[in-house]
Structure 1
Amino acid sequence: MPIKSAVQAVRTAVFYLVFLGQTVILAIIAGTIGILAGRTRLGWAVARYWCWSNVQFLRGLTGMGTHVEGEENIPPGGCIIASKHQSDWDIFAIFPHTGRPAYIAKKELMRIPFFGWAARSLDCIEVDRQKGAEAIPEMLAQAKAAIDRGCRIVIYPEGTRKAPLAPPEYRQGIVRLYSELNVPVVPVALNSGLYWGRNSLVIWPGVARARFLPPIEPGLAPDVFTERLKAAIEPESTRLSLEAIDAGYDRPMSPALQARVDAARQA
């Protein structure tokens, strides 16, 4: 392994130790608060600190910076925030800009002691992905209740983290939410996977960027909405990725990523 990569791997290991260590501690605190008092300002303060501190640790320990823009595109009141998902960074980078978010979270996370209790106290919505389409009615009921409490629903339309510039695979959950809740949808484009990829052992230096895009109005036909959503998120995410690479991408590029970059440039 080249010296530069080895040094970055050590920096990443230190970050993971700090990140996971404080996550456990804060989950115990927030989970206990959630069990004893339910949804409170103190629980939300713990969550906001977790997000803020992770951004600071990333920058200081790995050199991965954060830039989020377009917050003015989030309308007042209830809405759905539909974000590209490439990294764990997406969770705590978007959180501070969403008011009172209700994240769609997989059932497995909600079953973790303390962490799951904390998540429930922060309006998270549980979805059992193993049930497939059968899980959607329960998710919709929870989402409607969250909107009534003044939340904004945060969902990753592809359901899992994707590699940067990989072909999109949007699921039906976002379409059902859009159709049933009758609120605007704010697309979010980002390029975080360039620096912190799925199951990556190394987090690379650079500035991860996310951009809230103009909202999509409610009331469109499902197929029209889906195309509008893809047409907003995908080209802008590609643009953010290519701009970052052209500005000087300070990491080894795998053959798979290089192939996707070449294909994106040709397209």
Structure 2
Amino acid sequence: MILVIKIRSFLFFCLLLPTALLNVFFCYFSLLVTGKRPYWVLKTYGKIINFFLRVIGNISINITGSTDVRLEPSGIIIGNHVSAMDTISLPPFLKNIEFTFVIKQSLIEWKSFPFNLGCRALGCIPVSREANSGDMNFMMEEFKKRFDNNASVMIYPKGSRENELEPSTLIPPTALLMAKRLKVSVLPVFFDTVNWSNGKIIKDAGNLYPGIAQIHIGEVIPPEEVKNLKKTHQKILDFYQECYQKSHNIKKISETN
């Protein structure tokens, strides 16, 4: 079984790199022709990778919540971070939302080629691991620029991937504080994507374990509710706890079948 998983994973990553290069080409071609951020490429790329995950990795993605959700005109998407699937697999399912990501600084450097080029074209916001007031002010300015262009931003407040699912994900309230100051809506999303594990040498190149990956899309929290940070923060934590239980139950049912 382990050998089959390793072979499937190897085949998947052999396709991932050329697909990423093609994605970068279309990103810059679209940017050159239209002068706009090519968010449509991100959604198309996600559809292709999700197809590869299903056919090669034998990983199906189960969505709960509405895929018709909207952030009008824009807002902040908050999620826990489990695996590389979180950034790749979500965009096709949020069909009415154009968005980019807050990423770690190293992802826009050349050592992350070709993904660094895609991150630049999509206007991702790089931050260092060491949180400080300068980073906060920088993010506020960059978020506002994206919002002015009707684009939303996805952020993983905990930063590092957990690669294991926790019953309660204690997210820092940093993103909510920015949402309050910028007077925008918040959309919580919960990922159970442990199927794509971290690699020992290259973090993104771990094994793909067959099964069901879960993405739970929450309800939009409007700006007037976000004003009450404590209540909103607890609401998201409760949502995460509920999603954890749903994921656990779905996996138990699939295992018995």
Contact 1:14 1:61 in 2 (8 A): yes
1:210 aligns with 2:215: yes
Give the TM-score normalised by structure 1: 0.80
> Structure 1 vs Structure 2: percent identity of aligned residues?
18
1:249/1:124 CA distance change after superposition, 3 Å: farther
1:81 aligns with 2:77: yes
1:84/1:14 CA distance change after superposition, 3 Å: same
Q: Which residue of the partner structure matches residue 17 of structure 2?
A: 20
Q: CA deviation at 1:48?
A: 2.8
Q: Which residue of the partner structure matches residue 198 of structure 2?
A: 198
1:125/1:249 CA distance change after superposition, 3 Å: farther
Q: Greater share of helix residues, 1 or 2?
A: 1
1:164 aligns with 2:182: no
Q: Which residue of the partner structure matches residue 150 of structure 2?
A: 150
2:250 maps to which of 235, 243, 248: 243
Q: CA deviation at 1:25?
A: 4.1
2:59 maps to which of 39, 57, 64: 64
Q: CA deviation at 1:26?
A: 2.8
Matches of 1:39 and 1:114 in 2, distance apart? 21
Q: Which runs of 5+ in 2 are unaligned?
A: 200-204
Contact 1:15 1:57 in 2 (8 A): yes
1:39/1:104 CA distance change after superposition, 3 Å: farther
Q: Which runs of 5+ in 1 are unaligned?
A: 251-267
The alignment covers a number of residue pairs equal to 244
1:7/1:183 CA distance change after superposition, 3 Å: same
Q: Which residue of the partner structure matches residue 262 of structure 1?
A: none
The CA deviation string for residues 169-218 of structure 1, in whole angstroms up to 9 with x for no partner, is 4234313322222112111123111x123337321112212121112232
1:64/1:114 CA distance change after superposition, 3 Å: closer
Cα root mean square deviation, aligned: 2.6
Q: Which residue of the partner structure matches residue 227 of structure 1?
A: 234
Deviation larger for 241-250 or 213-222 = 241-250
1:74/1:44 CA distance change after superposition, 3 Å: closer
Counterpart AA for 2:73: G
